[in-house]
A and B are shown apart, each in its own frame.
Chain A
Amino acid sequence: MTLQTNSSLQTELLEVSIGPQHPSTHGVFRLNAVLDGETVVKLKPVMGYLHRNHEQLAENMPYLASMPYTDRLDYLCSMTNNFAYALAVEKLAGIDVPERAQYLRVLMAELTRLVNHSLLVGFLLNDLGAWFTPVFYAFREREKILDFFEAVAGSRMMCNYFRFGGVKADLPEGALEQVKKIVQNYPRFLDEFERLLAGNEILRSRCQNTGILPKDLAVNASITGPMLRASGVNYDIRKADAYSIYDRFDFKIPLGMVGDVYDRYYVRVLEMRESVKILEQVLKQIPGKGDILSAKGLQAGRAPRMWKPPAGDAYGRIESPKGELGFYLVSDGSPKPYRYHVRPPSFVNLTILEDMCLGQKIADAVIILGSVDIVLGEVDR
């Protein structure tokens, strides 16, 4: 026995399996942890409970038919999933997008970011033991945005709103007023949320210096999204690639200093404020009338079973609320994709979960997982 302890008591390592249906695992996700007392010495994530081989399904159907399936990847952010897939196909087939549709896309993507970050902050507080009070505030605000999604796309969560070369439907009457109201009132909600949480003693002492992710490791481990920026790396695909029309908006990229759970929480709060800023600019700039689908896009949607993009491959990526969401497509010139691959942000962000948890208490491992922001529909695909 080589175990070194100060006391004369012999201690043994304990293996604990958390999940796959534990509420703190945010879905059907399992953590195999080895504990020394309460300290984590080894931690292996186990996933795949929701695996349905999404990629193979997509390879057996026409391009457009996969669009509603992308809603089910990250089921909280169906709009941004649609966005990334549409972008990849547009790159593959060289389809342009009309002006008004671009604005509608950004509008939807940024509202989705608000939804995702509000929920994440709420659920993180759940993991900390503030059982469902913050989540209810988040759900209240989310509901207003989902009402808008329903008015435009016909569905609250499974929006299926984007089309190649544009979007499915124009805004109904009065919808723009609805968004204006949401955007106007959102800062007030964020203030309220912040007053409730940011200075909170328990939140601070639990989250600060917990689960630190160093800058170098974050870059090396392909971490993206708010998690990367909490570690202080200035990388946002909205700026780096300036896809769609993101180069027209003035917004900042909030960065963390330490890279702990608190930074990951706070970066998301600040990102919501930047999203509100983008939304205000969208509302000012959006053209009053215009096409929502380009001619090439119309062609692709008219007979989707017959539509064939030229042979070749393309990788389209966007800054989804969770990080880099990419679609890699290979076309052989037939109506179905020869290869269809999703690069999911939360799957890749789990790579260094063990590194962040080692040496921490098991109760902290739960909030570290919460701060990664995973949705199992996307992790498992």
Chain B
Amino acid sequence: MHVIWEGIREALRLIFGGDADVLQITLRSLWVSGVALLIAVLIGIPLGSVIALRDFAGRRFVVTAVNTGMAAPPVVVGLLVAMFLTRNGPLGQFRLLYSTWAMVIAQVIIALPIVAGLSLAALQQLDSGLRQQIAALGAGRLQAFVAQLREIRIALLAAVMAAFGAVISEVGAVIMVGGNIKGQTQVLTGAIVQETRIGRFATAIALACILMMLAFGTNLALTLIQQKGRESG
């Protein structure tokens, strides 16, 4: 019990004392997951929309692949990315393994199916009558696409929240492709694993608290936007 109390006291000191290492790890986590999420959203929403709105050969297979991707274990993603980025791998020439960009790539692969899959599901649930009404109002293809995204904006925000939750809390892939190198590729989850392993519970608790606050803060902000959107809907 004493260890836990000590840990919490130390954690509060690290958080509010502005510890440089903790701040650096936190900012790196935000950068890696933020960039990955941005890329996943930019690709995932159009991808989900194309799958939802277009008929093409093998559509069912693509939908199944996206849905499977939503449940892909991060360690499997880490293994695949590591295989591609390793020196002898197909993309080894870029020397990205054990860099933050390798972590971004892994997290994009984790977040992309979530964003695409949830966008796809939301668009498919949109009333086809509303879709036709938008076209009948004289909307061009791009205008109709944007209008439909506006109609599912609450579901899209849920997709972003789910994807952010998945990447910020993910540990397997970032350790495998980033190497958990202190001062270079270490993010919150990797640091918590390492600090716990060497018995520095106070630092681990501090980092865990920050991770929880990040998850809570981001989701709170998105939820507020989402509910505002619902009220104005």
Task: Say whether A and B bind each other.
Answer: no
